[in-house]
Amino acid sequence: MLAIFRLLQIIFAAFKYRLDTFIEIKRLPWSIRWLLLPLTWLPKPELPRGERLRLFFEHMGPVFVKFGQLLSTRPDLIPPDLMNFLDKLQDHVTPFPSEAFVALVEQSLGAPIDELFKEFDREPLASASIAQVHTATLHSGKKVVVKAVRPGLEPTIEKDIALLRTVAYLAEALSADGKRLHMRDVVEDYRHTIFDELDLQREAANASQLRRNFANSDQLYVPEVYWDYCRRNVMVMERIFGIPVTHIDALREQNTDLKRLAERGVEIFFKQVFEHNFFHADMHPGNIFVSTKTPQNPQYIAIDTAVVGSLSREDQYYLARNILAMFRRDYRLVAELHVFSGWVPEETSIGELEAAIRSVCEPIFEKPLKEISFGHVLISLFQTARRFQMEVQPQLVLLQKTLLNIEGLGRQLYPDLDLWSTAHPYMERWIKDRFHPKALYSELRRYGPEWMEKFPEVPHLIFNNLEQLQELTKLTPEIKRATKALADRPSSGTRRKQIATAALVLAAAAAWPGFLPWLQNLPTITVVLLLTAGAVWLFR
């Protein structure tokens, strides 16, 4: 009964904000069109459709607000006119009673609030759709903030998600745009995202990792987490005192170097993505502050680390190569990298993809670099690739959204910011450093113990694999001779050399494109071990 009532609320609100205008009624089957036909007689709404969608989400409450925020992070799916309004969705909602907050904290931490804290402010510092924050002081004298998840939120979220699934299904069934936007997939992404945000222990772990990555850094400061006071629905961390990054007048009053501050935002982004491979993915202005300590050498302060992102090593590499290729206007390489990375199907025509990318990027690059949005170039690039059946890459979409936030913030601080001149040398340096002997040595130190642990098993694995090769019908003459020689069981010294030779042949086959395709799936570590074992056994 409650679910039906909630559904009726959604339908009423949808009509109130004229969300029916999102549906092209003329394209619907007649069986459905006649039901919605009276809506075509209504006057056209005065507000833009993006504004009406934003008001609908706010009217429906916190869960829908968070869903709208998620949509605003999907520039690959959502049209710009909708994103511009969904970006304005605010987190501020009516706080829940302080008594309930105190009871939740006491139950989670297992002690009365007066024993846990020397001082506790019962007036909330901030209230959002997921959690509420109060200030407090530890018995050690440390100023902290106490964050707790709103009670009873999970059942409400599950009910609303079930209804969102229904809305998404109808949107895909009734609208071509609904299908194109993959609304049901977006709802499922939202479910995972919002339940991750309900786990404050996860957020605390993200904050600790980010703080460790920037330890002793003068670029970014992350508040300390007090783990003794952290649970799944409660977390306590250091209270920070800084100027909100959007308060430009206050920053100017303390003589902040705004040009340096803007450039540092870009440097922090690339350092997180390419050096640490762990980036704060919710860097909107409400989560960023500026320290008051060193205005001429400004330092950012980041909070709210519920949403973070990372890339695979392959995505890191291909993204860096894509960016450098765009800098050099090498559209052929951009197209090839999309195919090599698996972002588009193998059968994609390189020439056609290259032409499509050139037609999008070339008009942009005719403008002065400081007028070009780096983030929007990446979005245009991936939107163009979608015409060639490029699958949505969630990790790249998250990165795009973060880059747009950073770039927009940087240009708000310093309008003449040239992100390209900051990013280009950084990417060139990163590519070189990736293959520097120090980097290879670091990889050896990291994975060396695992390799040494597996090394004694290599001869046995090789012998077993060679026995399995006898069952294959399509073998090269070299491997046929090697397996036959093993079957004849010659002397131990000769057999050792034959096994070593076979190992080298297998490793070479795995590294040679188009040769024995089933070997191409071998991990790199296996190829390295085969080569090493073969060389050691052959020449000892």
Q: 3-class SS at 480?
A: helix
Domain residues of the chain, as ranges?
253-435, 439-539
Q: What pLDDT is stored for residue 302 in this prediction? A: 93
How many CB atoms are located within 10 Å of the residue 2 CB? Answer: 7
Paired tokens of 539: 């020449």
Under DSSP, the state recorded for 392 is: P
Mark residue 228 as left, alpha or beta (left: phi above 0; alpha: psi -120 to 50; beta: remaining). Answer: alpha
Annotated catalytic, 282?
Answer: yes
C-alpha torsion angle, residues 405, 407, 410, 415 (rounded to 10): -130
Helix H or strand E segment including 2: helix 2-16
* Region of poorest pLDDT, from 200-214, 289-303, 385-399: 385-399
pLDDT digits 0-9 by tens, 109-127: 999 999 999 999 999 998 8
Q: What pLDDT is stored for residue 91 in this prediction? A: 54
pLDDT band at 138; cut points 50, 70, 90: very high
pLDDT band at 143; cut points 50, 70, 90: very high
Q: What pLDDT is stored for residue 539 in this prediction? A: 44
pLDDT band at 455; cut points 50, 70, 90: low
Q: Are 104 and 133 in contact (CB under 8 A)?
A: no
Q: 309 pLDDT exceeds 50?
A: yes
Q: Are 343 and 321 in contact (CB under 8 A)?
A: no
Please state the three-class secondary structure of 51-81 as a single string: HHHHHHHHHHCHHHHHHHHHHCCCCCCCCHH
Is the whole model's pTM more than 0.85, yes or no? no
pLDDT digits 0-9 by tens, 419-442: 777 777 877 887 777 666 665 656
Q: What angle do CA 230, 232, 236 make, to 5 degrees?
A: 25
Bridge pairing between strands 220-221 and 300-302: parallel
Average pLDDT estimate for 139-160: 88
Q: 263 pLDDT exceeds 80?
A: yes
Q: 244 pLDDT exceeds 60?
A: yes
- Of 251, 82, 279, which Cα lies nearest the Cα of 183? 82
Mean pLDDT of all residues belonging to the chain = 76
Dihedral sign from CA coordinates of 196, 197, 199, 205: positive
* Region of poorest pLDDT, from 216-230, 352-366, 509-523: 509-523
Q: 393 pLDDT exceeds 90?
A: no
Q: Are 267 and 406 in contact (CB under 8 A)?
A: no
Residue of higher predicted confidence among 112 and 158: 112
Dihedral sign from CA coordinates of 366, 372, 374, 378: negative
Q: What pLDDT is stored for residue 518 in this prediction? A: 39
Q: What pLDDT is stored for residue 106 in this prediction? A: 95
Residue from 87, 282, 315, 418 carrying the catalytic annotation: 282
Q: What pLDDT is stored for residue 205 in this prediction? A: 96
Average pLDDT estimate for 74-102: 74
Mark residue 345 as left, alpha or beta (left: phi above 0; alpha: psi -120 to 50; beta: remaining). Answer: beta
Q: What pLDDT is stored for residue 402 in this prediction? A: 78
Q: What pLDDT is stored for residue 71 in this prediction? A: 72
